[in-house]
Chains A and B, each alone.
Chain A
Amino acid sequence: MDTSNIVGLVIQASYFAAAVLLIMGIKRMSSPVTARSGIQWAGVGVLVAVLATFLHGGPGHVLIENAALIFVAIAISTAAAWYSGKKVAMTDMPQMVALYNGMGGGSAAAIGASALLGVALSATPGVGLTMTQKVLAVIGALIGSISFTGSLIAFAKLQGLMDKTFRFKGQQVVNGLCFLAALFFGAVVVHHMWPHAIVIFFVLSLLFGILMTLPIGGADMPVVISLYNAFTGLAVAFEGYVQQNVALIIAGTVVGAAGTLLTRLMAKAMNRSISNVLFSNFGAGGGAASEIKGSLKPIEADDAASLLYLAEKVIIVPGYGMAVAQAQHKIWELSQALIKRDKDVKFAIHPVAGRMPGHMNVLLAEAGVPYDLIADMDDINPEFPNCDVAIVIGANDVVNPVAKTDKSSPIYGMPILDVALAKQVIVIKRGKGTGFAGIENALFYQDNCKMLYDDGKEAANKLIAGLKAVDGGGGH
Chain B
Amino acid sequence: MIDGFLALYLFMLAAFTGHEIISRVPVILHTPLMSGSNFVHGIVLVGAMIALGEATTPLQQVIGFVGVFLGAGNAAGGYVVTERMLEMFKSSKKEGGN
Contacts and interface: CB of A to CB of B under 8 A. Distances in A.
Interface in A359-373: 359, 361-362, 365-366, 368, 370-372
A331 interface: no
B62 to A, nearest CB: 9
A232 B95 CA distance: 31
A248 B32 contact: no
A298 interface: no
Nearest to B78: A100
A249 B6 CA distance: 12
Contact of A70 (B39, B53, B76, B79): B53
B44 A254 contact: no
B61 A237 contact: no
A26 B22 contact: yes
Interface size class of B (residues with CB under 8 A): 35 or more
A39 B95 CA distance: 16
B96 to A, nearest CB: 9
A475 interface: no
Contacts of A34: 98
Nearest to A15: B46
B38 A357 contact: no
Contact of A78 (B22, B65, B72, B88): B72
Best-surrounded residue of B14, B34, B51, B86 (most CB of chain A within 10 A): B34
Interface stretch (A56-64, A332-340, A389-397): A56-64
Interface in B14-32: 14-19, 21-32
Interface string A23-61: 101110111111111111011011001100110111100
Contacts of B41: 101, 104, 229, 232-233, 236, 251-252, 255
Tell me the dominant secondary structure on chain A's binding face: helix
Interface stretch (A258-266, A278-286, A455-463): A258-266
Interface residues on A, range: 35 or more
Contacts of B47: 107-108, 111, 236, 239-240, 243, 245, 248
Given A253-B11, A254-B14, A111 B80 contact: no
Nearest to B49: A53
A365 B70 CA distance: 31
A59 B53 CA distance: 8
**10 residue pairs, one from A and one from B, having the closest CB atoms:** A257-B18, A110-B67, A85-B80, A104-B74, A81-B77, A253-B14, A107-B71, A254-B18, A100-B77, A357-B30
Interface of B: 1-3, 7, 10-11, 14-19, 21-57, 59-61, 63-95, 97-98
30 contacts: A22-B40, A26-B36, A31-B25, A53-B49, A58-B55, A62-B55, A69-B68, A70-B68, A74-B49, A85-B79, A99-B77, A100-B74, A100-B77, A104-B71, A111-B67, A132-B7, A229-B41, A232-B38, A232-B41, A233-B37, A249-B2, A249-B7, A252-B41, A252-B44, A253-B10, A254-B15, A262-B25, A262-B30, A368-B91, A370-B93
